[in-house]
Amino acid sequence: MKFAVKKGWSNGRARSGVLQLGSCPFPIQTPALLLTTRKGLPPFTSPDLLTSSLPSPDSHLLQFSPLHFLEGISPKTISNIGGLHQMLSLHQHIFAAVPRDSIIALPEHDSTNKYGASFQTPGGRLLIKPAEYVELVSSMKPDFWVTLADEVPAWVSNKRNRTSVDRTLRWLDDCLSLNKESTTIFGSIVGGSSIEERHRCAQEVAQRNVSGYWIGGFGLGESMDERAALLTAVTDNLPEDMPRHVSGLGLPEEVLQGVAAGIDLFDSTYVYHLTLGGFALTFPLERNKGENADYQLSDSGGDGMKINLKATVYRKDTSPIVESCICFTCQNHTKAYLNHLFNVHEMLAQTLLEIHNTHHYLGFFCSIRKAIEEGKFEQFRRNFVESRRDRLFAAASSA
């Protein structure tokens, strides 16, 4: 793996970089989004559409949870096939293995113990020990993987926070010693809502022989106000020349908060949950403060950031989701058609909508990178948050 922060293109803590990893022949510009998958593929997008209908190389970063493969095709079979790249025939994509998954593999702190991390899955609670986890990951042959972590929500005690850091550090050492292959490993950093424990964990992990850092424990009850200090407590103690990956920050405002703290990689279930609910992203990707917004509110079921394509108002709407969007869905289909697909429960509805939402959110990350490189990130962030506030106010006023 090769990673470099672009010189002169940092803006405060926010930074723009280049990641070269695995068999992907293209450099990945950061900050970047890792697409959430289920067993290696986005929930509603097939391999052919993944390669033909989404922007390259931005869509080549794929995050998966190895725990998904404890049901169905066995890890040994996947290993015999040659790993996920070979099984899915996605030879130019980058696979990142992260144990936590906000869809079907949620961390369960009450059942975690000194032997392993517990996760709540559709099949019940599952305890994964470091040796089992490393064996599972090795069979998948990902481009990089995250070590096992004891993630805790924001409301646990200081003692439980200390225990989670101690366990995570011990499991990190176990994963490093058990790793027999020359793979790229990201060390896990936790600490809950304790700035001191976040600081301690970051300092300890920075001393280990890892290729990057995964920051966990977010999206588990902490507020936006306290999150900034927690992120800074971590990033201030990490080397500048290594990538930083975070889970649990999915909303646009949360992503901007992470970028402002110096995060490079994000995995998020935001697009998945929007698509499942029939919501399409419509917010402007580039915007100057003071522009008049064309709000789509009231009967549209939207809030200025997104619209509900199941709403009756779109039954006869022959326009695309976003007029200026160049994604496959907007170039070929209308809101009326998508509304029809949702009303008859046709699976194609989610497929077309996921293509648009993924394309739009990748465009949001492209706008972030452009703002950093122009030295205007803080202005971009401020304008976005203020515009978001205006949209919510307009939505509330029209209700």
Structure-block tokens of residue 329: 């869905």
Q: Residue 267: helix, strand or coil by DSSP?
A: strand
Beta strands at 244-247 and 212-215: parallel, antiparallel or unpaired:
parallel
Torsion of CA 316, 319, 325, 326, to 10 degrees: 100
| 99 in Cβ contact with 132 (< 8 Å) | no
How far apart are the C-alpha atoms of 210 and 212, rounded to whole Å?
Answer: 6
Is 201 flagged in the annotation as binding?
no
**What number of residues does the chain have?**
399
| 192 in Cβ contact with 152 (< 8 Å) | yes
CA-closest candidate to residue 136, choices 193, 178, 182, 198: 178
Is 356 flagged in the annotation as binding?
yes
Structure-block tokens of residue 303: 């809030």
Structure-block tokens of residue 77: 């079979």
Return the H-helix or E-strand segment holding 197: helix 195-206
Is 330 flagged in the annotation as binding?
yes
Return the H-helix or E-strand segment holding 281: strand 279-281
b (16+ CB within 10 A) / e for 289-318: eeeeeebbbeebbbbbbbbbbbbebbeebe
Q: Distance of CA 47 to CAs 53, 63, 164, 304, 365, Å?
A: 10, 15, 38, 32, 22
| β-sheet bridge partners, residue 14 | 11
The residue behind tokens 């510009």 is 29
Annotated binding site for Zn(2+): 325, 327, 330, 356
Annotated binding site: 325, 327, 330, 356
